[in-house]
């Protein structure tokens, strides 16, 4: 019996599950990460404090612990009956947002302060300064580390698989319970993860190349 051919639809389901988890939590992480990075460099002290706390708490907490909080504490106090996919992408997205915010902040620091000042001096608002002048240049410095963050996110999404989400990791568990050869399962699961991470890697390489050409 062959693990892959026997369970093609299960594999497909797991693959799609992992991709969905990665994409949705990636989007959440990106949006939050940009906001938090902006907070951290904003002229408003409470926002800076909020940003710092956000990054430090989420970045220094083990992801599994965040999942435990998301699945066992959050539903009790805030959102009962929340879908496990939603809880999973929230935990992954929040966690990853702290890494994105930090990468962005270091990228922002590569943009000479004088340019932001010049932008302020012609009357741009803080949001305009960030959006029009700082972030486009920070992004260039941040593409490569961002790729690593998304690859880490793909792998981290496996934790969601042990919390009631059907993804590659979850499929591996199911199949090993069904008695298939564990080595073969892991081989195919690994190949599937590699497909995703290589795709991300390639996409970011392309992006990096594009940005170099654009200037």
Partner 1 sequence: MTEVSVTKDAIPPGADDLVVLKNVNKHFGALHVLQDIDLTIARGEVVVVIGPSGSGKSTLCRAINRLETIDSGDISIDGRPLPQEGKELARLRADVGMVFQSFNLFAHKTVLENVTLGQIKVRKTGKAEAEKKARALLDRVGVASQADKYPAQLSGGQQQRVAIARALAMDPKVMLFDEPTSALDPEMINEVLEVMQQLARDGMTMVVVTHEMGFARSAANRVVFMADGRIVEEATPDQFFSNPRSDRAKDFLSKILKH
Residues that bind partner 1 (CB under 8 A): 43, 112, 114-115, 117-125, 128, 132-133, 136-137, 140, 215
Which is closer to partner 1, CB of 126 or CB of 186? 126
| Angle formed by the axes of helices 8-41 and 168-177, nearest 10° | 150
User: Can you tell me the distance from the alpha carbon of 96 to that of 90, in angstroms, rounded to the nearest whole number?
Assistant: 10
What is the smallest separation between the CB atom of 39 and partner 1, expressed in angstroms?
A: 16
What is the smallest separation between the CB atom of 123 and partner 1, expressed in angstroms?
A: 3
What is the smallest separation between the CB atom of 128 and partner 1, expressed in angstroms?
A: 6
Which is closer to partner 1, CB of 80 or CB of 114? 114
- DSSP conformation class of 215: -
The residue to which tokens 């504490």 are assigned: 73
Q: Does residue 29 contact residue 93 with C-beta atoms inside 8 Å? A: yes
What is the smallest separation between the CB atom of 110 and partner 1, expressed in angstroms?
A: 11
What is the smallest separation between the CB atom of 150 and partner 1, expressed in angstroms?
A: 23
Which is closer to partner 1, CB of 125 or CB of 190? 125
The residue to which tokens 């904003």 are assigned: 42
Which is closer to partner 1, CB of 32 or CB of 129? 129
Q: Does residue 107 contact residue 138 with C-beta atoms inside 8 Å? A: yes
Report CA-CA distances (Å) from 171 to 16, 69, 127, 167, 190.
Answer: 11, 24, 44, 6, 12
Which is closer to partner 1, CB of 1 or CB of 122? 122
């Amino acid at each position: 019996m062959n693990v892959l051919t026997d369970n093609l639809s299960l594999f497909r389901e797991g693959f799609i599950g992992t991709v969905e988890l990665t994409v949705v939590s990636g989007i959440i992480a990106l949006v939050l990460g940009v906001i938090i990075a902006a907070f951290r460099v904003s002229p408003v002290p409470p926002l800076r404090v909020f940003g710092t706390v956000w990054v430090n708490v989420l970045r220094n907490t083990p992801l599994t612990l965040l999942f435990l909080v998301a699945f066992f504490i959050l539903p009790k106090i805030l959102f009962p009956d929340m879908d496990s996919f939603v809880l999973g992408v929230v935990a992954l997205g929040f966690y990853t947002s702290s890494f994105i915010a930090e990468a962005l902040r270091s990228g922002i620091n590569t943009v000479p302060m004088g340019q932001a000042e010049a932008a302020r001096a012609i009357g741009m608002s803080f949001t305009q300064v960030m959006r029009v002048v700082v972030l486009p240049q920070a992004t260039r410095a941040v593409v490569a580390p961002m790729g690593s963050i998304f690859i880490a996110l793909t792998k981290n999404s496996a934790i969601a698989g042990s919390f009631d989400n059907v993804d590659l990791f979850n499929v591996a568990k199911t199949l090993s319970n069904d008695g298939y050869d564990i080595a073969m399962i892991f081989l195919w699961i690994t190949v599937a993860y590699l497909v995703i991470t290589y795709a991300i890697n390639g996409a970011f390489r392309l992006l990096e190349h594009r940005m170099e050409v654009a200037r």
